[in-house]
Amino acid sequence: MKRLDHFHALHAGLHHAAHEFPAQWDIYRCAHEIKVWHLDPNRDGGPFDDIGYHFLIKGSRFIPCRSLVYRGAHIKGFNDRSVGFCVCGDFSKRSPTSAEVSAVVSAIFEAERTIGHKLTPVGHNQFNNTFCPGPDLVRLVNDRIHQVRTHSGV
Ligand SMILES: [Zn+2]
């Protein structure tokens, strides 16, 4: 896998899974399922080397997935300039919850600590012809980041 040049990774690429996993599945099982999709040899566009996202969010939790050492596979043409975050859920059918938005922000802050600088949230659909991550996620995440930075001074 190609390495991610942290100096040029200035964006947080936001995604939804376009899928609602069973409520009783924990986040690791969801991550495994997405990894199986991404490694499928019959996948449209060919299989990835690993799960495409750097972080997965489910409900109020997030976990690291692909190492930040490596470039992700989540926004065609923009993977060298972004870190990938995916929320378990289908935002064509519902809006992101407050817990999900908070967890995305926490994951972005975690990535920022590793990368060494701030990340600007962008939506997958700003770069590729896709609905992902729906109409609300980027705005909600930006609003929450602004709130947090204003109140904590980070
Ligand atoms: Zn996406």
For the chain, give the number of residues. Answer: 154
Cα of 90 from ligand 1 centre, angstroms: 11
Cα of 15 from ligand 1 centre, angstroms: 4
Where along the chain do its domains lie?
A: 11-152
Cα of 153 from ligand 1 centre, angstroms: 31
Tell me what pLDDT residue 153 has.
Answer: 60
Cα of 29 from ligand 1 centre, angstroms: 19
What whole-number distance in Å separates Cα of residue 84 and Cα of residue 42?
Answer: 23
Give me the CATH code for the 11-152 domain, please: 3.40.80.10
Query: What band does 150 get if pLDDT is binned at 50, 70 and 90?
Result: confident
Tell me what pLDDT residue 154 has.
Answer: 58
Cα of 82 from ligand 1 centre, angstroms: 12
What whole-number distance in Å separates Cα of residue 154 and Cα of residue 148?
Answer: 8
Q: What is the DSSP string of 41-55?
A: TTSTT---SS-S-SE
Q: What tens digit of pLDDT does each residue of 70-109 get?
A: 999 999 999 999 999 999 999 999 999 999 999 999 999 9
Mean pLDDT of 59-64: 98
In order of 68, 122, 131, the CA distances from 10 in angstroms are 13, 10, 22
Q: What tens digit of pLDDT does each residue of 95-147 get?
A: 999 999 999 999 999 999 999 999 999 999 999 999 999 999 999 999 999 99
Sign of CA pseudo-dihedral 97, 101, 107, 110: negative
What whole-number distance in Å separates Cα of residue 60 and Cα of residue 100?
Answer: 5
Tell me what pLDDT residue 152 has.
Answer: 76
Cα of 152 from ligand 1 centre, angstroms: 30
Cα of 154 from ligand 1 centre, angstroms: 28
Cis peptide before 96 (omega within 30 of 0): no
Residue 149 has pLDDT above 90, yes or no: no
Cα of 124 from ligand 1 centre, angstroms: 5
